Amino acid sequence: MVRSLTAWLTALALLTACGDDDDPGPPDAAPDAGLDAGDPAPAMYPEATMPAATTPVPGVRREVFHVAGTTPPPNPVTGGETPAELNVTQVLRYRRDVDPPAEARAILVAMPGFLGGGGSFDGLARALVSAGLADGGGDVEVWAIDRRANLLEDLRGADAAEALGDPEVADGYYFHDATVGGEAFAGFVRQSAVDYMSEWGLATHVEDLHAVIGTVPEAERRRRVFLMGHSLGASFAEAYAAWRFGEGDDATHGFDELAGLILVDGLLGAEPTTETEYREGQSMGGIPQPGLDEIRAETRFFALPLLGVAVYARTEVLGLRALQDPALVVDDSGRDRVLATLSGLAPTRVPPMDNATAMALGFDDAHGPLAFARARLGTLVGPTENYGGLFGGEMLQRPSDPETTYRWTDAPEAGEITSIDDLARAFTHGRSNFAEWYFPVRLPVDLAAVGGAAIAEDGWQASEGLRSFDGAAIDLPILAVACGLIGDPARYDELRARLTTPVGAGRPAAGATRDTDAGLRVVDATDLAHLDPNLSSDRAANPTIEETSTFVGLHAAAGGVTIDALVME
C-alpha cells in the first residue's frame, strides 16, 4: 500500500508532468496553428461574462467573492515573486436566496481535492443549502474554496459561452482561434511562466484559508465554522486543524477556530516523508515524484498523464453541450482524441455519441480510467467490450462498435448516484469551474511531509514553514465518510489512533471520546465512487448530504450569525 492517498495521486499525476519545461502538452492543447487557404476566418464573438451572483437552482444563491491572502516568499532559485493579484483566495458562497443574507447557524468551508476547484462541491453545496440542518434546524452556508491557482485560468471563453448560451463559443476560443470581445486565447500557461508557484505549498494555503475563516466574526468561528475536505482536501483539513499559529502564550491552533471537521474519502498519511525524500524526490511504484529542489527548478504544476491541461477546457465544452442539448450528436475530433486516449482506442474507432454520453464516458465508474475522477453516472447504451484500464490491469468497459451512435441512461433512471446535469453544472456554472487547471506540485509534497500531523517543533519540516505540530490535541468532533477511493472504512482507524484528545470543553459534545459517534463518526459509503459525494444533489442517493447535515446540526451552537454581502462587484 502506498504511504498515503496523497502520495498515490502525486505519483499518478507525475507520469508526464516532468518533461520539457515549456511543453504545451498533447497536440490538442494549443489553439490551431493557423489557417489553410480556403479555411473560414476564425469566429468573432462579443464580450460576455457571467455575473458574480447567480441562482443555480431556485432558492439557492451562489456568490463569488475574494479574500486577500498571504504573500509567499520568492522562488529562491529564480527569484520569481508571486504577482500581488494572485495573493487571493476565491470563494464560492452558497446560501439561501434572500436579501439581506439570512442568519446562518453553520458555515461549512469546503476544501477541494487533487485538481479540484470550488465548483467540485456544487451538487453537495446546493443540496445542503436547500435542505438546511437536519438536527435542530437553521440555515447552513457552504463556502467552497478556489485555491489561488484558479486565478491563473483564462475562463473568458467558457464564461462567454455560458452567458451567450452557445457552447461552441468556448470550443472556438480555446481550440480554433476564435476571439471573444476582440481577445484571442493566449494559450495555456507554461511552467517557466509561473516559477513563483514553487512556494505555493501547505504554509501558503493554510494562511490563505486562515484569512477566509477570518471573515467570520471571531466569537462565532468555534461555534459554527466547519471545515470539510474531500480527497487530498481531507488531508489538508487535518493538517490545518493541527497547525500552530504564532508562538508561546500567543499561539493558537487551526482547531481553535472550528466547530468540527468533515473528511470525505481522504486521509492524511500516517507518517511523514523523510527530509531526503522531501528535498530530492522519491519513486512510487517506479514513478518518479519530484522533491522541493526540482519543484523550484522546473516543475511547478501538474499536467494530467497524456492529456495535459487542455483537457479541462475540453471538458467545460462538453459540460456546456450536455446542459444545453444532451441528446444532440456533435462531430468533434478533439473530443474524440481525448476519449480515445482515456479508453485505449484508436481515434478512428471512437463512435458517434450524443452530448450526455460524451460528458459521461470519461468519468463514469465503469468506463473512466482515473480512479480519482469517477462517479456513478448511469449506463452506456450500445455494444461494449472489456479493456484493461489505462493505469493498470483493472477491467473497464468501452464502446466496441464505431458505427453505432451511443446514448446514455442517466443516473436517476439507472439507479445510480450522480446525474449528468450535476456533473455538467459542476464543470461549467458561473465564474468558476470544477477543476484547478494549474494544481501546484508543492502542496501534496508538503502534505506528505506532515503525515501524522504531529511533526517535531524543531524538526526539518519547521525550517520549511510547516507547522502541523499538534494533531494529538485536536478537540473537534469529526465526521469521516469512506467512499470508493478510501475503500475500507477501517482506514479511518489510523485517524482514531492518533486523536488522543476528546471533544473539547464548551462544545455541544464535550467529553466525547473517539470510540463514539459523537467524537468520531465513520460512515461506510463505499458504494459511492470518489466524486459522487460532492457532485450528487440527490438526497436519497447520496448519504453524504444527510450525514453532513445531521453532523453539522448536532455540533453547531444554537442561534446564528449573519455575514454581510461579500459578493464581488
Q: What is the enclosing helix (H) or strand (E) of 145? A: strand 139-146
Q: Find the mean pLDDT for residues 188-212.
A: 98
Split at pLDDT 50, 70, 90, the class of 287 is low
Q: What is the enclosing helix (H) or strand (E) of 530? A: none
d(CA 404, CA 399): 9
Give the CATH number for residue 477: 3.40.50.1820
Q: Is 153 left (phi over 0), alpha (psi -120 to 50) or beta?
A: beta
Average pLDDT of the chain is: 91
Range of the domain at 112: 67-147+194-269+438-555
d(CA 233, CA 236): 5
d(CA 428, CA 437): 14
Which phi and psi angles does 438 have, rounded to 5°?
-125, 70
d(CA 58, CA 296): 46
Is 234 in a helix, a strand, or coil?
Answer: helix
Does residue 34 surpass a pLDDT of 80? Answer: no
- Which residues pair with residue 104 across a beta bridge? 139, 561
Exposed/middle/buried for residue 336 (C-beta within 10 Å: 0-12, 13-18, 19+): buried
Which phi and psi angles does 234 have, rounded to 5°?
-70, -40
Q: What secondary structure, in 3-state letters, does 161-178 show? A: HHHHCCHHHHHHHHHCCC
- 302 lies in a domain? no
> What pLDDT is attached to residue 284?
63
Is 280 in a helix, a strand, or coil?
Answer: helix
* Chain-centre distance for alpha carbon 496: 25
- In the chain, % of residues over pLDDT 90: 85
The total number of structural domains in the chain stands at 1
- 416 lies in a domain? no
- 204 lies in a domain? yes
What's the whole-model pTM score? 0.94
Does residue 30 surpass a pLDDT of 50? Answer: no
- 528 lies in a domain? yes
- 512 lies in a domain? yes
| Residue 260 near residue 521 (C-beta atoms within 8 A) | no
The secondary structure of the chain in percent helix, strand, coil, rounded to multiples of 5, reads 35, 20, 45
pLDDT digits 0-9 by tens, 344-390: 999 999 999 999 999 999 999 999 998 899 999 999 999 999 998 76
pLDDT digits 0-9 by tens, 119-140: 999 999 999 999 888 777 899 9
- 543 lies in a domain? yes
Torsion of CA 161, 165, 166, 171, to 10 degrees: 30
Q: Find the mean pLDDT for residues 468-478.
A: 97
Does residue 2 surpass a pLDDT of 50? Answer: no
| Residue 360 near residue 326 (C-beta atoms within 8 A) | no
Q: Is 227 left (phi over 0), alpha (psi -120 to 50) or beta?
A: beta
Q: Which amino acid is at 141?
A: E
For residue 66, give the C-alpha cell.
Answer: 475574494
What is the full DSSP assignment across 476-496? --EEEEE-TTT--GGGGHHHH
Peptide bond into 76 cis (omega under 30): no
Cβ count within 10 A of residue 326: 20
Residue carrying C-alpha cell 479540484: 116
Does residue 204 surpass a pLDDT of 90? Answer: yes
Q: Find the mean pLDDT for residues 471-485.
A: 97
| Residue 108 near residue 142 (C-beta atoms within 8 A) | yes
- 533 lies in a domain? yes
Does residue 23 surpass a pLDDT of 60? Answer: no
Beta strands in 382-540 (DSSP E): 384-388, 395-399, 407-410, 478-482, 520-524
- 292 lies in a domain? no
Is 385 in a helix, a strand, or coil?
Answer: strand
| Residue 375 near residue 425 (C-beta atoms within 8 A) | no
The residue among 275, 136, 316, 109 whose CA lies nearest residue 206 is 109
The residue among 150, 147, 437, 186 whose CA lies nearest residue 315 is 437
